[in-house]
Structure 1
């Protein structure tokens, strides 16, 4: 929009304000691509002609900053009346407001019971000031009078100086000088956080008020400072008085604002209104010492930009700019309201609602903005959350859904941008799948109001729509079906002060049948810093419905996702590595044994078939399979896509086994008791058969659902492949192998080159710099591939993660091959770079340069000492690595793991490196020995067994021990063998019996 800021001109006027008035300009705070603000100045003498010329410039909107009253020499009331007569749209400061003075406020206050200073006979001190004009004009320390004679003399002097202004005599309220900005927000009038002027210590009560000098000079010099009034009930008293004063004096017109000056009486805590100022000092130069801009910047969500949008949105609401559009969108949703809930329940947005309900505290009062058919209320109820839910929606038919009546305490029909303004405070405010219907102005107004009304959290979703989708929706549903991509606007709105963003993730929403493209969105949650959260709740654990990727992401343009649909999608499997906290997984068989023990504890023992008790052996196996199926279901939230596929395959094999398994022969009872037991067992057998049939039906249903998931995953993968060339498809299928190879190559290459530089010329460094080189090389490798493969770089790390943390064993061997080839490549590259230097310094290719490629214990060190040194080095390193990867301990901040592990590697080298190096990476040692052997170092490279006994044996034993030590003393996770629920001897025997039984049957 093109907006004119129309100001009073000081041309030809001797005004005391000219020295201090820097003039407002929203361009300082609002991006020019959104609005263009142009400043124009009007003199009182030529106001009408100047306004006529300004109106010819075809501005969309005027912001009125003219402030002069009729007796002033600057443009104000009369010029504003003339501007209003032109029929243009004016934001802020109507002429009716400008014409009011302090006497009008006194009269209005008496009608509504508003507290204003009176003129109590015989009560002193009193303050004497002009009834017209700017509040602090001509106020000084002599304005406070302690006797009747002082009052008379002061009035006489003021009348002599200015015969046109009225005189106001009031009781002087001893207390704190305060002010509050009041703004129209829709149909509501809202006061922002009050501000207190803090005078220097020991300032007498009669001097602690805003004189002309104090207001413009003492504040600028920092003698008088500001403080926000947060203490209750003072804050509420000041805000309530400010709002009542705003209403009493008749300030209105859509987008009106004011600053209300007040005194907070020290003895009673009552707020007395002193003046209602028509122009808050907002949009002035950044860094100015005026308090109004400070309030908006610090206390209004979204700052000055959102503050202006709130004024503009309020004006647009008053003029009904979006009424037709809102009615059109309501009619569209009314048309498919009956089927809407069924569609929503299957959508990703519903999964996101479940995710937030499962992982965050949403108890208390919840305002569900754009509540639709009430899915959020249902989800909260299903998760057992004690919440009173209130709803807002544009569509009347949506609010007739059964969920609304069941789960919502109250709902209101209408546009969210209007209803949110008067919605009142709530603990939590949510909004899913609706913000794209707003333009940027109304979006910022809605977000600002959400953060103002929410006591604990604000959760919303914003669609990342491309232009093709937006245009197609308009063609299908009409131009009034407004859609916008607000991802960038939300980023510019930012996180209000006093809040923290606890969740933000881009995710796939759905494939549009209209445009044949994938639609994505961002789910965001912010929590107020004053509220406590559940322990370990930030970030939340992944769920089966929704697995967020918590890594930080940079800017991506709105059309980037259409060409890179995999961008921002959750990982298909957890990353076990050194770049971040280690994932937590349920180890194979762990859940099923737990379920089995629970079962046995409940039923004590299985019936003995040979004694005629219970059922045959076939049913017994079926029951065991049922328990395993339940265990698999319970453990599914930690399964990767590959593990789910394996589980489906195993289920199919078990189903076939169930079908082919022969029934156990019936056993004839030998006596009456046995016969009765047999009958009882037969009934139990029939009951168990029914249960097994139900289990099979559930199993088939699960298989169908999982097959459907696999088909969808395959379709998604196929859609991804349409955007990739052949090599990109290969890399997408094996990202961890390639990244592990590259990380190993870079790390080992840099380490060898550093070693060679040190060996060639000791003036290039010392043993300490050698240790730093190896540590920084490790850091570089982890930063290079830590988010993809985990950057193990070392087979010892891969093995201990498999043993102690559940890293898949089939990947261990693949990683070891990548590490082998990476080390071979690194050794070859290092030799090629320093070929000439090596043959110059060490023409015989001896251990002088050879130990840059591989480790050799010092000659004075015994074999046992060398082994022990290597053992302790790797044990210490692994113990610390496990601590850094434990998110229940004290994990580093985002992106810091690699740096700290680099420091740890350096520390180990500095403290334990003298004896053996240390090696700590047997694959690097072995591979570079092979390179040395191939380039001519000869059989000396493998002349003793240190490379296998010390490097492999010592490192493997030490790493296992170091990991065990950490898990014994600190780690609590059940994925570690130290804490693992090992099978009892009876469970082992039972399992062996089952295996032997199956073999006999086979």
Structure 2
């Protein structure tokens, strides 16, 4: 079961997940505890959304967004059970203790508050981390930083494209704020006088935020701390002042697939309320306009920009250390109109929002790109954690524990072996059995966790390369495209979460086809079928055959997926 902690004004969020008879999981914006269950029952407790409309009046830094729709992973899968927990900053420790006492399998951390914010975040996450429980999501080290820290590091290292900070027009925003709060028509300044006036307008509005930070940092005199920032003017370390980039805004989600960052289709910001066409940017009012939102960037219309946005986003993922979240990050850009050069304006630690389908900020990129959709995304987050913490994975394989499935090649119908496999073939869980009838057209790469099986494959002489590694750790590092992928045995040794991770990774890596075997009428076969057909793929073969070579004759279901269009550009570049 998943448990989610959500925060409102003065509240933070985190989610948790639980697997009955297996393991338990949690998340934060909300805290979402998760129970991962063999029965795959769906249950939502305490997940009623806060009001979707609140007054704009009085909204200041670090408080609740208007029109918020809270994360709800339970909308997208029936494999796990989710509960949402709303965490208040002042009582976060006790609330987290109470949630953990209920016994969950996994926790999704969606709390986002920094030291400055009135909502739960940095301190609550740090406390939760001290408990060493299975989780994915926002980390305290990230919430301890702000935009000022990110841009200072990026400027020092010189690896990421960021705006300069000297030439007017300049753009002024708080370093620790979010959701375009305190950004208005005065944020764009064209000279020193306008810059000074904008900073003077911000100072009283940032006062409460600065006092909270002073207290969180243990400053002896919070009032003096605030005065020093006000006196610093443009040099205040809680302001970001950069050259304004005239152009459109984009956003790219980068997800951790094990240890490989995978960039999804870039999103382009749609402005619901027009400002000066040459100076369009997201103010608080524009961001929450009813017609504002995101659209998908069409790769065919601008392939160069599409690929560059993905490539830079992957670099930002790596440079900001996003992998330990076991989720990824979202990278926001402005693309200069004159030369289409992208500049990073923010890196957000929450890449997937799990908002209801059809809502203004639904995850269009996940729906469009990610094989298996939100269900597979959740299972990938869980798999990512256990790749780093195998000692904590104590739950049984549950219904997916089905032995070796060591069938013989003679069991396989000729219509399957006659499929086209020319080119590079990745044979996961290889057993020295080559499927194609014309081996000379194929270059085989074999993967297996057994030294004995690797030796058997070596003796067959059919493999150009053999890798001694289990499937999940192998795919967590492998990032080379192949033409075909075979997974013909041991699918039942994979957990529910691992199976989705493996399938998603196969669809990302294969140029032409994927062939998977699973015992008929099992959860594995059912989960492969319910995984669905990713964009540009079609299930072309789905039949059963009997493996008479097994001790007890077993009926095997064969799935053959074939690509119907060119491969999606998931990765900016291939990495070993």
User: Could you tell me the TM-score, scaled by structure 2's length?
Assistant: 0.76
Structure 2 CA distance, aligned partners of 1:118 and 1:347?
Answer: 62
Task: Tell me what 2:297 maps to.
Answer: 228
Give 1:436 deviation, angstroms.
1.9
The one-character-per-residue Cα deviations of 1:153-175 (angstroms, maximum 9, x if unpaired) are 22222223214281111112233
1:429 counterpart SS class: strand
Q: Greater helix percent: which structure? A: 1
Is contact 1:192-1:295 (8 Å) kept?
yes
Q: What are the Cα deviations for residues 857-910 of structure 1, in whole angstroms up to 9, with x where unaligned?
A: xxxxxxxxxxxxxxxxxxxxxxxxxxxxxxxxxxxxxxxxxxxxxxxxxxxxxx
SS in 2 for 1:168: strand
* 1:74 and 2:119 are equivalent in the alignment: yes
Looking at structure 1, the residues matched to 181 and 138 of structure 2 have their Cα atoms a distance apart, in angstroms, of 20
Alignment of 1:196-595 (within 5 A): 196-199=268-271, 204-217=276-289, 220-221=290-291, 225-230=294-299, 231-253=302-324, 255-291=326-362, 293-320=363-390, 344-348=408-412, 351=414, 354-356=417-419, 360=420, 362-373=421-432, 375-376=433-434, 379-380=435-436, 382-383=437-438, 386-401=441-456, 406-424=461-479, 425-464=481-520, 485-510=523-548, 512-513=550-551, 516=552, 518-531=553-566
**Match of 2:464, SS?**
strand
Distance 1:205 1:407 in 2: 62
Give the unaligned 5+ runs of structure 1.
Answer: 466-483, 533-1002
Structure 1 residues 88 and 114: CA distance shift in structure 2, 3 A: same
Residue number among 37, 50, 65 corresponding to 2:95 in the alignment: 50
Superposition deviation, residue 386 in structure 1: 3.2
Task: Indicate the residue corresponding to 1:3 in structure 2.
Answer: 2
Equivalent residues, number? 483
Equivalent residues of 1:8, 1:65 under 8 A apart? no
Q: What corresponds to 1:188 in structure 2?
A: 260
Q: Which has the larger radius of gyration?
A: 1
Which ranges of structure 2 fall in alignment gaps of 5 or more residues? 13-57, 211-236, 568-576
Cα deviations across residues 434-491 of structure 1 (Å, max 9, x unaligned)? 32221211111111111122222222222216xxxxxxxxxxxxxxxxxx64121112
Alpha-carbon spacing, 1:522–1:207, altered in 2? closer, same or farther (3 Å): farther
Hey, what's the Cα distance between the residues in 2 that align with 1:519 and 1:406?
A: 29
Structure with greater strand percent: 2
Distance 1:365 1:227, change over 3 A: same
Between the aligned partners of 1:30 and 1:397, the Cα distance in structure 2 is 38
Distance 1:135 1:171, change over 3 A: farther
What residue number does 1:737 align with? none
| CA shift in 2, pair 1:12/1:260, >3 Å | closer
Match of 1:86 among 123, 128, 131: 131
Cα distance 1:286–1:345, how it changes in 2: closer, same or farther (>3 A)? closer
Q: Deviations over 1:822-875 (max 9, x none)?
A: xxxxxxxxxxxxxxxxxxxxxxxxxxxxxxxxxxxxxxxxxxxxxxxxxxxxxx
Q: Which residue of 1 aligns with 2:84?
A: 39
* Structure 2: distance between partners of 1:113 and 1:386: 46
SS in 1 for 2:241: strand
For 1:387 and 1:225, the matched residues in 2 are separated by: 43
Aligned match of 2:221: none
Rounded Cα–Cα distance in structure 2 between residues aligned with 1:155 and 1:437: 60
2:76 aligned to 25, 29, 38, which one? 29
1: CA distance, partners of 2:119 / 2:328: 21
Alpha carbons 1:254, 1:318 under 8 Å: kept: no
Matches within 5 A, 1:115-126: 115-121=160-166, 123-126=167-170
